[in-house]
Amino acid sequence: MSNLKVIKTVKLFIGGEFPRTESGRTYSFNVKGTNDQYARLCQASRKDFRNSVENSRKAQPGWASRTAYNRSQILYRMAEMTEGKRVEFVDLFKNALGKSETEANLMVDEAIDTFVYYSGFCDKYQQVMGAVNPVAGPFHNFTTPEATGVVTLIDADEFNFAKLVDSISAIITGGNSVVALLGKGCPAVLAPLAEVFKTSDLPGGIINLLTGDLDEIKGFIGNHMEVRAISFQNEREDVYFEMKADAIDNMKRMIPRRDKTRSLDLILDFVEAKTVWHPIGQ
Amino acid sequence: MTKKKATKKKATTKKKASTKKKAAKKVAKKTIKKKKVSAHKIKPGMVFEYDAAPESSAVVNIKPKYDLFIGNEWVKPESGKYINNENPATTESLGKFAVGNDKDVDKAVKAARKAYDGEWGKMSGKDRGKYLFRIARILQERAREFAVLETLDGGKPIKESRDVDIPLAAAHFFYNAGWADKLEYVYPGKDVKSIGVCGQIIPWNFPLLMAAWKIAPALACGNTIVLKPAEQTPLTALLLAEVCQEAGLPAGVVNIVTGEGPTGAALVAHKDVNKIAFTGSTDIGKLIAKNVARTNKKLTLELGGKSANIVFADAAIDQAIEGVINGIFFNQGHVCCAGSRLLVEESIHDVFVKKLKKRMSTLRVGDPMDKNTDIGAINHKEQFDKIKEMVAAAKKEGCDFYQPEVKVPRKGYYHAPCFFDNCSTSDSIVRDEVFGPVLSIMTFRTPEEAVAKANDTQYGLAAGVWSEKGSKVHQVAGALKAGIIWANTYNKFDPTSPFGGYKESGFGREGGRHGLLPYLEVK
């Protein structure tokens, strides 16, 4: 008896839900190097982007005010859920990208280790980069890192699963929320990855994942007044400089492509140092 | 004997009184009346006429003409152009200074590059630190000279330049000096290295202090610099150049190119500058950001603010009054982090405003060289006009205006302190940075409302919170979107304490360990 395969339609991940694009447009994601369709994806519009930012902005203060311990456990849960979905990720990397079983497993291993790495940092970066400052006067003075706010991530087109997980984790570790536009390399990763986030006790809206065309929505990201920072990990230098110029409107923090992963400074790209003074005396 | 005399006197008075009762009563009444008047005169809080207590300007030697400081030498500007420098307190001339053009900037950048690739770049952190310690010490030794010059050039009260600007500038050099050979401790677990040639553009409100904030960390981290002081206040930066010579700093490490907007623009646009650090208005900051957007130049910006000073009903009111006064009227309100929006809890609004008026009436506005002066001259004419314009616009918008009657000198730019009460969040005086002694007042009912109103601005530099309840102070401090929170205090600065804002107040920090990061590359 033959069994007809069910082809998956990948939807967007906005505000903890899985909506189709409001524009109703989809595009075909093909198996690497072929014309064989792997999956049909949503082509996010600028309105989808704006909806994501709106959700992201609403959710962010709640996430930032969670205890560091709680954020840490949620990131660790992501590692656990990725492990639980290992077969699905491996299948995707094998079937869509032509990776070997070993390569695909290694990719998942790296991503899991990345979640674990940042999970451990949620309650430590404040101690490492905070300070009690010895001011010359009777004041208690301390500096703590605080979340910047809503961050937009422009993912690389060359797919690197661990790097994508790294970029997202670094942003949310510091109490920020993120709207990520996935790169062209393997946008279909949205489906299993969003399910990981959906089932990790992460509040809806903290991570939003979009698939679509960077060229189409690039002009609406840099000048969005609710976006506080952009992590630009894509290879397109022209778009980077364009967005950097747009970002000046509300003085967005523009973070260029980083070659490193699992690093303290990647978290600190998305925090602001707040210094509090208080007199000591009677 | 005395007793006898006293009894005698008493007796005589009695005798007289008995004979001329009516007349005596009149006299007595008069005396009592007189006594009452004199008692009234010494009521606390009354303003006495102070005698003038001017600081002598004999300690400074202002040259008729200042050249550019490039490669440890005084160089004539390529443009051949010099402009007049004015004392805002008297409108008298303070000599002329050179206007650098793009060729001058190029010379300065080349000198800085040469020093970076050569002696300074190869120098040990220990020796770099020792040079900075030397500069700190010379600044301390020549503090009076700097203070007088700062006040003459910028119009700020001598007590502020003497007690705040100059000591803090020296402290910044001293603090950063010690970091020069300890950079491996700046970023835990990471290697760091210097960036290269830094272009630094500073404002006119704290001329020497801003120069110190910029130069000290840049040099400690191993960079070389080209500094462009504000065209309104170049003198203390030029005297600092002399200090660098006196300290034996190698040629090209510090270059100072005076000039106006185009000079700064040339520095920003120079291809061989690795980093731009700017302190000033948000508008110019955005222009600079646009100019470097398509390059990989590093950028830190310390821009404007519209900082809220929140006073809760459970605050120590008299201390809060002092904090609000200091927050907005310190340095004529020419402070990027000035507490220009007072948010006072509704239940204490009336009594607070009453006390505020009383305190404002005791502020002494006038000659900045007078040691008793609280509010000096507005830094320059353009700013003076701008403040007047904004005040006039706010009056039209219908906010309640208050300004104590004060006598100000006839010559010079003086603006008496004032406030606008019963403002709403959409009023221009609440939204726009005035950079002058003008306060806006709004009320709130709950901490949530206070925080929402405080955060309702594109800026995020500083904020003040006044309450005797510790848990509330920390909750509000945590919720405010600002880089510096002064809880039960305001306008405190220290070289060990990071300074810098959120949102459109810029990015990067100055001061403390965090203040070194903008001058280092993290590997």
* Mean pLDDT (10-residue bins), chain B, 523 residues: 48 49 52 50 70 93 97 97 97 97 98 98 98 98 98 98 98 98 95 97 98 98 98 98 98 98 98 98 95 95 97 98 98 98 98 98 96 97 98 95 93 97 96 98 98 97 98 97 98 98 95 97 92
Residue A100 located in a structural domain = yes
Pair (B327, B279) in one structural domain: no
Q: Are residues B406 and B290 in the same domain?
A: no
Residues B317 and B269 in one domain: no
Whether residue A3 lies inside any domain: the answer is: no
Same structural domain, B381 and B441: yes
Q: Does B522 touch chain A (CB under 8 A)?
A: yes
Give yes or no: residues B271 and B397 share one domain: no
pTM of this structure: 0.92
Domain assignment present for residue B56? The answer is no
Using only the alpha carbons of chain B, give its radius of gyration: 27
At B17 the pLDDT is: 47
Whether B489 has its CB under 8 Å from any CB of chain A: the answer is yes
Instruction: Report the residue from A128, A263, A279 with minimal CB separation from B489.
Output: A279
Q: How many domains is chain A partitioned into structurally?
A: 1
Please give the residue of chain A at the shortest CA–CA distance from B476: A276
H/E stretch holding A182: none
User: How distant is the Cα of A91 from the closest Cα of chain B, in angstroms?
Assistant: 36
To the nearest whole Å, the CA of B357 is away from the closest chain A CA by 25
Indicate whether A242 belongs to any domain.
yes
Give me the torsion for CA of A232, A235, A236, A242, rounded to 10°.
20
The pLDDT of residue B128: 98
Distance from the B484 Cα atom to the nearest Cα atom in chain A, whole angstroms: 5
Question: Is residue B57 in some structural domain?
Answer: no
B485/A275 touch (CB, cutoff 8 Å), yes or no: yes
CA separation, residue A90 to residues A96, A258, B186 (Å) = 10, 26, 41
The answer to whether residue A5 is domain-embedded is no
Partners of A224 on chain B (C-beta within 8 Å) are none
CATH number of the CATH domain containing B387: 3.40.309.10
Q: pLDDT, tens digit, for every residue of A260-270?
A: 999 999 999 99
Q: Is B178 a domain residue?
A: yes
How many domains does chain B divide into? 2
Of all residues in chain A, the one with the smallest CA distance to B488 is A278
On whether residue A214 sits in a domain, the answer given is yes
| CATH number of A232's domain | 3.40.605.10
In a domain, A2, yes or no: no
One domain for residues B298 and B337: no
Query: Would you say residue B182 lies in a domain?
Result: yes
Is A27's Cβ below 8 Å from some Cβ in B?
Answer: no
What is the pLDDT at residue B47?
62
Q: What's the pLDDT tens digit per position in A142-182?
A: 999 999 999 999 999 999 999 999 999 999 999 999 999 99
Q: Which domain holds residue B436?
A: 308-493
Q: What is the pLDDT of residue A129?
A: 94
Of B267, B302, B337, the residue at which a domain comes to its end is B302
CATH number of the domain at B225, please.
3.40.605.10
B207 and B279 both lie in a single domain: yes
Indicate if B476 and B446 belong to the same structural domain: yes
C-beta atoms of B484 and A241 within 8 A: no
What is the rounded CA–CA span in Å between residue B355 and residue B340? 17
Query: Minimal Cα–Cα distance from A115 to chain B, Å?
Result: 20
What is the H or E stretch that residue B311 is in? strand B308-311
Catalytic machinery residues of B:
302, 336
Nearest CA in chain A to B459: A250
In a domain, B1, yes or no: no
Tokens of B119: 């002696």
Distances (CA, A) of B284 to A139, A243, B100: 34, 20, 19
Give me the residue from A133, A253, A265 closest to B497, CB to CB: A133
Same domain, residue pair B87 and B190: yes
Instruction: Let me know if residue B436 belongs to a domain.
Output: yes
Q: Is A87 on the interface with B (CB under 8 A)?
A: no
- Say whether both B320 and B296 belong to one domain: no
- Which value does ipTM take for this structure? 0.94
Residue A52: pLDDT above 70?
yes
Is the CB of residue B513 less than 8 Å away from at least one CB of chain A?
yes
User: In chain A, what percentage of residues exceed pLDDT 90?
Assistant: 96
Burial bucket for residue B257 (CB in 10 Å: 0-12, 13-18, 19+): buried
**What is the reported pLDDT for B2?**
47
Q: Which of B484, B494, B505 sits opposite A136 (nearest CB)?
A: B494
Q: Which residue blocks in chain A are alpha helix, DSSP H?
A: 46-65, 68-84, 86-97, 101-121, 125-129, 161-173, 190-198, 214-217, 237-246, 264-268
Is residue B282 domain-shared with residue B422, that is, in the same domain?
no
CA dihedral (B77, B78, B80, B82) positive or negative = negative
Domain span holding position A154 = 11-29+38-279
Residues B271 and B418 in one domain: no
